[in-house]
Chain A
Amino acid sequence: MNRQPDADVLVIGSGAAGAAICSRLAGRGAKVVCLEQGDWVDRARLPKSHPDWEVRGRRYWAANPNVRRWPADYPVSSEGQDPIDVYMYNAVGGSQIGFAGNYWRMAPSDFRVQSLDDVGADWPFDYEELAPYYTLNEAEVGVAGLAGDPCGPPREPLPNPPAPIGRPGQLLVDAYEKLGWYWWPTEQAITTHAYRGRPACDNRGWCTFGCPQGSLSTADLTYWPGALKNGVELRTQARVREVVIGGDGKAIGARYYDQDGVVREVRAAVTVVACGGLGTPRLLLMSSSPSHPDGLANSSGLVGKNLMVHVQSFATGLFEEPVDGWNGTWGGTVSTRQFYETDPARDYVRGFIMSGCRGWSPLNLALQIAPWGSGHHQAFDERINHEISLYLCGEDLPEESNHVELDWGHLDGFGMPGVVTHHELNENSRRLGRDMIAHAHQVLEAAGAKSVRDFGLAPIWGWHLLGTAKMGEDPRTSVADRFNRAHDVPNLFIADGSSMPTSAGVNPSATIQALALRCADHIWESRRDYDSGLSSQMR
């Protein structure tokens, strides 16, 4: 007996991408159900609501799911020569609930990496096709920044002015001016002015530890209120076991465990997987069946392959004068794309950004540099409020050998497998990383630092988990098409960071959300291809 669909569109995952898709489709009239394995974050428990926020950030708010172990988290092991210290959250809003807000557009050349630089892959479309969705998303999110950066194409004014840069930013501007380099105020997903019902940022800093003010543009605050108002049914604590495929090869919907461990099923005309760079391949691989023995949508064999995380580091300068490093958004000073584009004079291709941050917070700093015993306070006092850090982020090229796979030896609380990541920086990334760190020293020294320390290229910080179900034109070399539709399953979409063919050299949230909006519009515009049997609006 045929069962009536529960929704036009089923979205699995409520994070940066899932939230944007739900909001966009519901706003146009689609009936949408969203399954989220986590739950709403209790904002009273955000670390920064408490004086011991740094300690809370190391325990129940820890970005590594193996430490935090919320009920929705699944085990993640890390292997390879350069193992990833995985950072992600499973909650309404996804990993955005623990992000710093740095919010970049990719450059036009990022969409043509293979054609321009003979490495990596081309995206199946150009910057100009995504640009309107960047703009739309920036308005939804309330991005702070300034148009006019000569390191990117012309664009519309941004919704909010840049964050105050404070003394650290002023010193970095002085350095860039002295060096004659490009620089620009860093764009952030932070409402620096009151915006669409959300308050102006009050400069508490340390944004990854939660924003009690509500100015950090996490998906639970940006897209979800409107999505719910427009009728999206969000089911939390819903751990999806598998995407279900019908006899005609189309996705029927998904089966999941509810909070009591009872299996449930949602049926929809269209299914969207948006579970992040690890969660999406995990679900696709878990959804194997006789017709998809190697995992769903995996005829290319690329589900889980090409895991990218960015080449990342920090460099920290020590200054004679106090720098008020406690004051202001963590990433909201100025950045440079001086070395973003490939330069034949360098011994690597692709490039990197350098983003000015503030100083290290007391516990973090003490754990880094203050030895125990009688010299403790002297070492601490020399650096607290006298340091400025640069966040360094470069492009990590896709490699099939860098991958994620199911780990049936380590199960979550519902008997579903964890994952194992395998990662090694390639030679290009190592060269890029060394050059990136060297230039960071140059900037901080030009700013007047009396010494500079850096964090090298280890550990591999796993904030940006990308590429594990890549888009492309050719079904043999990609998992999804140019509109995020799985090549193998005509009504299944993969719309999150896993779909990115290359990583670019910038924080990916803005691109992930722009991609999600574009995917949503395609689903809406091609809705007549899908027989929902439910909503007249979708027809």
Chain B
Amino acid sequence: MAYDRKQGRHQVAQSSQPDYRLEVGRAEVPVGTPRGFVVLDPARAATLKAWTSTLIPASGRRPDAGSVGAAEYIDATVHLVPSIRPALLHAIDEVERLALAATGKTFAECGVEQREGVLRQFQSAGDRDAFSMVGDFTYEAYYGHPEVLAAIEADTGWRGSGPMKGSSMTAFDASRLERVRNLPRRYRAVAGRELKG
């Protein structure tokens, strides 16, 4: 039944299946902090690490998502939010099953193209919400990581430290308003009165 779920002392409107988008609000997991796995066993951790590295592979200066701790970030998140653990565990197991069926190898042992094929198969036929969850969390772990932001700045000029450090900018050049200042007024007066501020 929809909208029947109670979350601690605060009831939240959501479907009977926990929605990770709502569940993660209370899970504060700093990005970039070194950490190990606390929920996933080594085999599942290896699968998830390979999964995240397939979602965002390395390119030039930029590392792959697995090497900046995306899988550990996901693990830490589900550690804080037990309600979404089942979806993650089932998804990892299903990806592993699909990899073995298609290649006879574990997902982590597969090549890039094989991994992408397995994930596409899972994305289309498996638990799409779980796939989105792993994807969203991977993107979070990746684009919040200082090493990634530094590489993006070097590659593209996008200054990831701007929101932390600020910058100086050239003041607005009011001379550009010359044409607009001289246009007729463009608002409707009310009841024929000339309104004053």
Q: Do A and B bind each other?
A: yes
In the complex, the answer to whether A126 meets B31 with C-beta atoms within 8 Å is no
In the complex, the answer to whether A209 meets B187 with C-beta atoms within 8 Å is no
Question: Within the complex, what minimum Cβ distance (angstroms) separates A181 from chain B?
Answer: 9
Q: B13 on the interface (CB 8 Å rule)?
A: yes
In the complex, the answer to whether B135 meets A377 with C-beta atoms within 8 Å is no
Contact status of A51 and B164, CB under 8 A, knowing A56-B28, A75-B13, A164-B169: yes
In the complex, the answer to whether B163 meets A204 with C-beta atoms within 8 Å is yes
Complex-state Cα separation, A127 to B196, whole angstroms? 9
Contact status of A166 and B169, CB under 8 A, knowing A58-B140, A373-B55, A411-B11: yes
Q: Which of A77, A164, A177 contacts B13 (CB 8 A)?
A: A77
In the complex, the answer to whether A203 meets B168 with C-beta atoms within 8 Å is yes
Complex-state Cα separation, A345 to B55, whole angstroms? 50
Q: B10 on the interface (CB 8 Å rule)?
A: yes
Interface residues in A372-415 (C-beta closer than 8 Å to B): 372-374, 376-377, 381, 384-385, 407, 409-413
Which residues from chain A contact B160 at a C-beta distance below 8 Å? 51, 326, 362
Which residues from chain A contact B7 at a C-beta distance below 8 Å? 69
Q: Which of B163, B168, B195 contacts A205 (CB 8 A)?
A: B163
Binary contact readout B45-62 vs A (1 if CB under 8 angstroms, 0 otherwise)? 000000000111101101
In the complex, the answer to whether B57 meets A109 with C-beta atoms within 8 Å is no
Question: Within the complex, what minimum Cβ distance (angstroms) separates A382 from chain B?
Answer: 10
Q: B125 on the interface (CB 8 Å rule)?
A: no
In the complex, the answer to whether B25 meets A68 with C-beta atoms within 8 Å is yes
Q: Which of A55, A75, A163, A206 contacts B12 (CB 8 A)?
A: A75
In the complex, the answer to whether B143 meets A374 with C-beta atoms within 8 Å is no
Which residues from chain A contact B10 at a C-beta distance below 8 Å? 69, 71, 73-75, 412-413
In the complex, the answer to whether A60 meets B28 with C-beta atoms within 8 Å is yes
Chain A residue with the shortest CB-CB distance to B115: A373
- In the complex, identify which listed stretch (A146-154, A291-299, A425-433) lies at the interface while the others stay far away: A146-154
Q: A328 on the interface (CB 8 Å rule)?
A: yes
Complex-state Cα separation, A340 to B191, whole angstroms? 19
In the complex, the answer to whether A67 meets B193 with C-beta atoms within 8 Å is no
In the complex, the answer to whether A385 meets B12 with C-beta atoms within 8 Å is no
In the complex, the answer to whether B169 meets A60 with C-beta atoms within 8 Å is no
Contact status of A372 and B135, CB under 8 A, knowing A131-B195, A327-B169, A413-B9: yes
Which residues from chain A contact B184 at a C-beta distance below 8 Å? 150
Q: A165 on the interface (CB 8 Å rule)?
A: yes
Complex-state Cα separation, A108 to B186, whole angstroms? 11
Chain B residue with the shortest CB-CB distance to A116: B188
Which residues from chain B contact A304 at a C-beta distance below 8 Å? none
Chain A residue with the shortest CB-CB distance to B135: A372
Complex-state Cα separation, A127 to B197, whole angstroms? 9
- In the complex, identify which listed stretch (A182-190, A484-492, A516-524) lies at the interface while the others stay far away: A182-190
In the complex, the answer to whether A127 meets B56 with C-beta atoms within 8 Å is no
Which residues from chain B contact A54 at a C-beta distance below 8 Å? 140, 143-144
Complex-state Cα separation, A259 to B97, whole angstroms? 50
Interface size grouping (class) on chain A = 35 or more
In the complex, the answer to whether A202 meets B135 with C-beta atoms within 8 Å is no
Q: Which of A116, A376, A410 contacts B55 (CB 8 A)?
A: A376
From A362, A370, A413, name the one whose CB has the most chain B CB atoms within 10 angstroms: A362
Q: B34 on the interface (CB 8 Å rule)?
A: no
Which residues from chain B contact A67 at a C-beta distance below 8 Å? 21-22, 24-25
Complex-state Cα separation, A54 to B163, whole angstroms? 10
Interface residues in A211-257 (C-beta closer than 8 Å to B): 213
Interface residues in B130-175 (C-beta closer than 8 Å to A): 135-136, 138-146, 149, 152, 155-172, 174
In the complex, the answer to whether B116 meets A51 with C-beta atoms within 8 Å is no
Q: A161 on the interface (CB 8 Å rule)?
A: yes
In the complex, the answer to whether A203 meets B167 with C-beta atoms within 8 Å is yes
Which residues from chain B contact A176 at a C-beta distance below 8 Å? 180
Complex-state Cα separation, A395 to B42, whole angstroms? 55
In the complex, the answer to whether A66 meets B14 with C-beta atoms within 8 Å is yes
In the complex, the answer to whether A209 meets B163 with C-beta atoms within 8 Å is yes
In the complex, the answer to whether A204 meets B164 with C-beta atoms within 8 Å is yes
Which residues from chain B contact A173 at a C-beta distance below 8 Å? 176
Complex-state Cα separation, A326 to B193, whole angstroms? 44
Chain A residue with the shortest CB-CB distance to B25: A67
Which residues from chain B contact A116 at a C-beta distance below 8 Å? 188, 190
Which residues from chain A contact B140 at a C-beta distance below 8 Å? 54-55, 58, 363
Which residues from chain B contact A126 at a C-beta distance below 8 Å? 190-191, 193, 195
Chain B interfacial positions (CB closer than 8 Å to A): 3, 7-14, 21-22, 24-32, 54-57, 59-60, 62, 112, 116, 119, 135-136, 138-146, 149, 152, 155-172, 174, 176-177, 179-181, 183-191, 193, 195-197
7 more CB-based (< 8 A) A-B contacts, given A164-B171, A362-B149, A372-B55: A126-B195, A326-B158, A341-B187, A341-B188, A372-B54, A372-B56, A377-B60
Which 3 residue pairs are nearest across A and B when measured between Cβ atoms?
A155-B197, A202-B166, A52-B144
21 A–B contacts, CB within 8 A, in A order: A53-B163, A53-B164, A58-B140, A59-B25, A60-B26, A66-B25, A69-B12, A69-B26, A112-B191, A126-B191, A126-B195, A150-B186, A164-B172, A204-B167, A206-B163, A213-B166, A322-B157, A340-B186, A372-B55, A384-B156, A410-B12
